[in-house]
Structure 1
């Protein structure tokens, strides 16, 4: 019996590699898209570090979100698509269109090719950024019914790009989907095991904290979730009939400050205590610094913000039960120690 084929876009990414790992472990064939086939060795290394020995059901194909070429070939014969690829946040940019246009154009390019190939369902990796931005008066936990309000001033272009890309995806399905279904996953801060020395923007804060690069932290609250649980939620959204047409917040439902994160690391790794920050920066200092340092503007936009979230929908509808936020954070750190990414004390 031929295995069902799943296309995973952006195959070398942090979330994508854990999705590929789980798909292959569960007996699917996977075709991963990459911007360059030079990523093949990295992908194979990460999968092997994740415990996989048989890569015979994995193939790679070059396809770029900014071009039409190769997408039809990428989708050929696929039952499902996990659209994980997305532009990474740019800390410095001349125009917000640099982030927004590739995200929107990319999602429409992938959905068009998937529809034309008669794919059953696409699972879109959206973001918490499409949920929370522009709600300064929020005082109840964010849920899947919430959308970022882009009419509010000072929303970072990354949050705009995530919101507009997801909106574009739902509009496409409604108007041009021709029966193809869509589910969206909106993760909060994604932690968990890194599988190679190439790690990703959500994990950098753990490496920087343990390396002693952060003398004090801004007052930013956030939800955190383990990448393995995010991958599992993608799997559930791919196959469950209940997930069609739904979006799901990937969150543990806990909220931690950056100081809480540092304190969790201090408790687990006391030998690194002297490197870890003990104080929060006043909000005004962070916001003032961002005026002169563009790379701090995304950070400054989050300072002092409300960040409570609910995962009731994913728990009730898909029976999804994630690890704790602390477990996810410590798994990130331990994987970095295992790969010698942090110098010993």
Structure 2
């Protein structure tokens, strides 16, 4: 549904992030005023460059504010005068963390800092970017996961996914308690692909980058759902304004899950010689587990080996008329943008 955007201000947190950048582009193109939060205002030129790559030529409706999720100061100023908040920002994960609380505590506190400031400033609705990690970890389903599902933290759930689960639950607890009256909607993306705007992009795209540059001699046996970042941003904006989205979660997934080898094959099919370094085989699970003993980033991959988790976007389609691009389109756009921007050197 169409809601007038004239004069309305939206705070987008973590404005240099991949999803956040596309949310800013979508909002500016719809006529909203946008205030983007950054940990350091030194990033403003970088952000403007990324937005320019994404097609923005007029920055009159864009402003910036300095705010950091590690502290409460700054968020009151950031939300002042805003009708809506889109909150994709997340504390930078410490992959060398010695305890899971180093992931969890900053994630939970950061969400609460933003929500408290939004409530105090009279913001109408916050759209929180959560993750599939808050939906489908620690459980196994033969049917697709939906928004009714939550990760089971009584099981062995990796710290990052646990932090996404607990921070989202903290958000719902807040708006159902002391934050009553503040509206909340949540978007739970799977692996995010799509055209990159610069060097800031998702973990899923790093894997494609490593394939194209030949850094991976084989791919792990991992299946995942994927979604194009442009569709993730579109879902955030729909969830921001549509009355039907109040108090709801929305899974952002394009379709059925695909394997890393499926992606490699798509790259070969689309790019021909430009995909010459892309691997054609899977790495045995035992070798990944061995490597993980020495590499903390690889350690995050181990729980996902051999896992098959399907998810459904039926709710977003029915309630918000959301129509995402296909996995193939998202993979193609990712690879072609990495090549176009010269990021494979």
Q: Equivalent residue for 1:298?
A: 300
DSSP-derived class of the 2:126 partner:
strand
| Cα offset, 1:91, TM superposition | 2.8
Alpha-carbon deviations, 1:211-250, whole Å to 9, x = none? 0111111110001100000000000000010000000000
What are the residue-to-residue correspondences of 1:97-136 with 2, within 5 Å?
A: 97-135=101-139
Specify which of 311, 325, 328 is matched with residue 323 of structure 1: 325
Q: Specify the alignment match of 1:242 in structure 2.
A: 244
Runs (4+) off by over 6 Å: none
Query: Which residue in the other structure is 1:253 paired with?
Result: 255
Residues 294 and 197 (structure 1 numbering): CA distance in 2 closer, same or farther, change over 3 Å?
closer
Q: Which residue does the alignment assign to 2:212? A: 210
1:146 is matched with which residue? 149
Q: Is the 8 A contact 2:91 2:110 kept in 1?
A: no
Question: Secondary structure at the residue paired with 1:288?
Answer: helix
For the 8 Å contact 1:191–1:203, the answer to whether it is kept is yes
Query: Is 252-261 or 108-117 further displaced after alignment?
Result: 252-261
Give CA-to-partner distance per residue, 1:136-188, whole Å, 9 cap, x none.
x32111111111101102x2100000000000000000001231110000000
Give 1:64 deviation, angstroms.
0.5
Find 1:231's aligned residue among 233, 239, 246.
233
- Separation of aligned partners in 1, 2:294 and 2:49: 40
The CA distance in 2 between the partners of 1:332 and 1:240, in whole Å, is 29
Could you tell me how far apart the structure 1 residues matched to 2:154 and 2:201 are? 34
1:32 and 1:61 in contact (8 A); partners too: yes
Q: For the aligned residues, what is the CA RMSD?
A: 1.3
Q: What count of residue pairs does the alignment treat as equivalent?
A: 341
- C-alpha displacement of 1:2: 6.0
The residue that corresponds to 2:46 in the other structure is 42
- Tell me by how many angstroms 1:256 deviates: 0.6
Counterpart Cα distance in 1 of 2:93 and 2:256: 24
Query: Structure 1, unaligned stretches of length 5 or more?
Result: none
Q: Distance in 1 between matches of 2:150 and 2:212?
A: 34
After superposition, the Cα gap between the structure-2 partners of 1:251 and 1:110, relative to the gap in structure 1 and judged at 3 Å, is same
TM-score normalised by the chain length of structure 2: 0.96
Matched residues in 2 for 1:190 and 1:164: separation? 21
- Cα distance in 2, alignment partners of residues 226 and 123 from structure 1: 18
User: Cα–Cα, structure 1 residues 221 and 211, in superposed 2: closer, same or farther, change >3 Å?
Assistant: same
Deviates more, 1:299-308 or 1:200-209: 200-209
Asked whether the 8 Å contact 1:91–1:296 carries over to 2, the reply is: no
Q: How many angstroms does 1:94 deviate by?
A: 1.4
SS at match of 2:177: helix
